[in-house]
Amino acid sequence: MVATTLVGLLRSGPAEAQGTQAAPAPRARAYTRSAHLMGSHFTFTAVSPDDSLAWRALRAGLRETQRIDRLCSYWDSTSQITKINRLAGVRPVVVDQEVFDLIERTLKISALSDGAFDITFASGDKIYKFDKQAHASLPDSATVRNSVRRIGWQKVKLDPATRTVFLPEKGMRINLAGILQGYGVRRAQELMKKMGIAGGLINGSGDVYCWGQQPDGSGWRIAIGDPARPQSVSSWLTVSDLAVVTAGNYEQYFTVGGRYYGHIINPHTGYPATGLRSVTIICPDVELADALDDAVFVLGPEQGLALINRLKGVSCTLIDDSGQTLVSKGMQLHSYHSAAPAAAAHSTPKP
Task: Kindly state the DSSP code that residue 271 receives in the 8-state scheme.
Answer: S
What does DSSP assign to residue 154? G
**Can you list the domains of the chain with their CATH numbers?**
5-13+27-49+198-346 (3.10.520.10)
Across residues 129-143, what is the average pLDDT? Answer: 95
Question: How does residue 226 score in pLDDT terms, banded at 50, 70 and 90?
Answer: confident
- Asked whether the predicted pLDDT for residue 9 surpasses 60, the reply is no
- Quote the pLDDT of residue 26: 85
CB contact at 8 A, 208 and 244: yes
pLDDT digits (tens, 9 = 90+) for 284-341: 999 999 999 999 999 999 999 999 999 999 999 999 988 899 999 988 877 765 443 3
pLDDT at 268 over 80: yes
The confidence score (pLDDT) of residue 230 equals: 67
pLDDT of residue 327: 93
**In this predicted model, which residue has the larger pLDDT, 101 or 224?**
101
Phi, psi of 277, deg, nearest 5: -105, -30
Contact predicate 291/179, CB 8 Å: yes
**Three-class SS of residue 326?**
strand
In the structure, what pLDDT confidence band is assigned to residue 21 with cuts at 50, 70 and 90? Answer: low
Beta-strand runs (E) in 153-228: 157-159, 164-166, 199-204, 207-211, 220-226
What pLDDT, in 10s, does the model give residues 31-43?
A: 999 999 999 999 9
Mean pLDDT of 116-134: 96
pLDDT band of residue 15 (cuts 50, 70, 90) is very low
Chain Cα centroid distance, residue 52: 30
In three-state secondary structure terms, 314 is: coil
Question: Given pLDDT bands bounded at 50, 70 and 90, which one contains residue 347?
Answer: very low
Q: Tell me the C-alpha distance between 350 and 181, whole Å.
A: 9
Q: What SS3 class is residue 66?
A: helix
Residues 218-234 have a mean pLDDT of 82
C-alpha distances in Å from residue 101, one per residue of 93, 108, 163, 182:
14, 11, 9, 15
Amino acid in position 337: H
Q: Percent of the chain beyond pLDDT 90?
A: 77
Q: Looking at the predicted structure, is the pLDDT value of residue 65 above 80?
A: yes
Q: What is the pTM of this model?
A: 0.88
Question: For residues 305 and 285, what is the distance between their CA atoms, to the nearest angstrom?
Answer: 18
Banded model confidence at residue 225, pLDDT cuts 50, 70, 90 = confident
* 110 φ, ψ (degrees, to nearest 5): -60, -45
Write the DSSP assignment of 68-81 as a string of letters: HHHHH-SS-TTSHH
- Please, what is the average pLDDT of the chain? 89
pLDDT tens-digit series, residues 170-210:
999 999 999 999 999 999 999 999 999 999 999 998 899 99
* pLDDT at residue number 234: 81
Task: Give pLDDT, residue 23.
Answer: 61
| Range with the poorest average pLDDT among 16-20, 222-226, 303-307, 334-338 | 16-20
